[in-house]
Structure formats: structure tokens, C-alpha cells
Amino acid sequence: MSATLRTPADLAGAGLIGVAEAAALAPVAERYAVAVSPAMAALIDPADPADPIARQFVPRPAELDRRPEELEDPIGDAAHSPVPGIVHRYPDRALLTLLYVCPVYCRFCFRRERVGPGADAVLPPDRIAAALDYIAGQPAIWEVILTGGDPLALSPRRIADVMARLAAMPHVRIVRFHTRVPVVTPEAVTPELVAALGASGKTTYVGLHCNHPRELTAAAREACGRLLDAGLALVSQTVLLRGVNDDAETLATLMRAFVELRIRPYYLHHGDLAPGTAHLRVPLAEGQALMRALRGRVSGLCQPTYVLDIPGGHGKVPVGPGYIADGAVTDPWGASHAYEG
């Protein structure tokens, strides 16, 4: 497993699935991109049919079961894209997408209809220039969020070029990178990559996507340490997933691990309505119950905000449990207490 596994045959050759299963998965791989990095493949226990790492990266036949409510663009990016590569939904921040490829392909990805190898995998130079010109012409944009695809899959040189352009825009103060790289390909977090993420006059945040404590291997922790020791700020992003982290103990362990690593727990995402992902989505009421259990179990430092991206491009909202109703407040353990105020 020295190379990324990209086909069902690769997965079978690595012993992660059976040969017969590989044949059954061929239609899924034709529809949605497959990539399992060596770091993630090494974590999968093929003897465990419920392995939480495999559930995230190994394709399943259920991905071809599309429900009526599922959408190709579940959070409405297209409706807020004034130029290719830009999504400008909120006044003070914009998404900048330079590529649509990733070192791994998550089976629950809300951009699964767009990401993967192909002719439009990387934004061409003229469109990158147009996207940056758009940001330069919007003085209300305070934060630029590089997403994708995975922006840290770009070369340090290309990242440094974009950061130099952003450094020349005085209204842009914060640059954020959303990435899985430190976890799934930690060896890619080189000194050159770390240096490329900084720019004069800008504060750089790295939003680390990680869903299960086992993903935080020694190599991943060291990669995060290299980013933190360079002065970059790290926040976490986690997707609530059936069979991966939909229990209070797993979430508590993961959030504590983030805090111990100096990574601020930021968002716990409710699963988006991406096609073929129903088998991984957790009902909203269950997610709220898990957040209530987390509140009574771990430090306030370990509490992410449970959020839902409203389908159709209407924005992200917190959907955690309520604690006050009818003149009473419920404590973290479920007991109700009278309160007037």
C-alpha cells in the first residue's frame, strides 16, 4: 500500500475488500471518484465490517441509491458563484476553489458530483486570475476560504503565488484553508508547504477535516504540530456520520484530542443531502441528542457548534439542542429547573 488506491481492484489487491465485492463496486467507482491514501488504508481493519475508517473511504453499493430529497448541489454553491472558482454567499467572506481533486475521496462528500480526476480538475490560470480579481474588487470580503477539492493538494509554489496576490489586498485579513491533508497525507506537510501558507499582513487558519480519533495518527499529530509551530491557527471540522462517530464517547474522544493538539473544535456538520449518502446520514434529532450528551460529558473547550447547511444555498445555521422552554431550563444531564429571567 505504498500508493493511493484508486479502483475497486486496487482495494481488493490491498486486501481491503473481496474480489467479488470489487466487481459489485465497479458501477459505484464509475459514478464517483475513489481514492484511499496509504495512511488511511493502513488504518482500515478489513476484518471489521463496521470499520469507521473504511466507511468513510471505501465505496459501497448504497451510494447508487438516490433519494428524492438528495441534490447534486446540496448547499447551493452554484446560486452564489459570480465567477468560476468563487462562491460568495456571505458579505464578509468568500470561497475560493482552485481545484476539484483531493488526496482521498470521502463517500459522503457534498461536492461528490464535481470532485475527481477530469479535464476541469484544476482551475486554469485565466480563471484563477479572474477569481482573484473578483476578490480584489469586493472590499467587503474580510476572509477568503480556500476549498475544493483540497487546496493543500496544490504545490507550495502555486499556493505561495495565490497568497502573494491576496497579500496585496488590504481588505482581506483572514485566509482559511479547508483540508484533510495533514491527516490523510501527513508527509505532504513539508516545510515548503507550511511556509507557503503564510503571507504578510494576513492571519492564516487551517480548517482540519477529521471525523474519527483513529485518524489522528502520530504522523498526523506531527503534521499538525508543524503547522501550529509555524504560527498558523487550526480549527476542526467534523461531519456527523452513521457508524463513524454517531456516539457520544467517540465524539468526546475526538474533541478532546483536538484540544490536546491545540486545535479548536469548530464545526460538527450535519450530513448534507448529497446523492447516495443516506446510509451515512444521522437524523437531526439524534445529532441534537449527541450534542446534549457531549455538553454533559466534556469541557467547554471541547464543544463544536452543530450546524446545518440549509439546502438550496440559504446558509449555515446552528441546530444544537435547546435548553430553555416554558419557564424552565434543562441541565446537561436532562433534569429540568425553573428559571425566570
Cβ(177)–Cβ(151) below 8 Å: yes
Whether 288 and 319 have beta carbons less than 8 Å apart is answered as yes
> What angle do helix axes 284-295 and 248-260 make, rounded to 10 degrees?
60
The CA–CA distances, whole Å, from 172 to 77, 138, 204, 304 equal 21, 9, 11, 26
DSSP strand pairing (174-179 vs 86-90) = unpaired
Whole-angstrom Cα distance, residue 79 to residue 81?
6
Write the Ramachandran bin of 288: left for phi over 0, alpha for psi from -120 to 50, otherwise beta.
alpha
Question: Which positions are annotated as active-site residues?
Answer: 89-90, 93, 102, 106, 109, 111, 272, 309, 316
Q: Residue 96: count other Cβ atoms within 10 Å of its Cβ.
A: 26
Residue 209's SS3 state is strand
Name all contacts of 83-91 with Cβ < 8 Å and 24+ positions apart: 83/127, 83/130, 83/131, 83/134, 84/123, 84/127, 84/130, 84/131, 85/123, 85/127, 85/128, 85/130, 85/131, 86/131, 86/134, 86/135, 88/134, 88/138, 88/141, 89/313, 89/315, 90/315, 91/140
Rounded distance between C-alpha atoms, residue 119 and residue 57, angstroms: 23
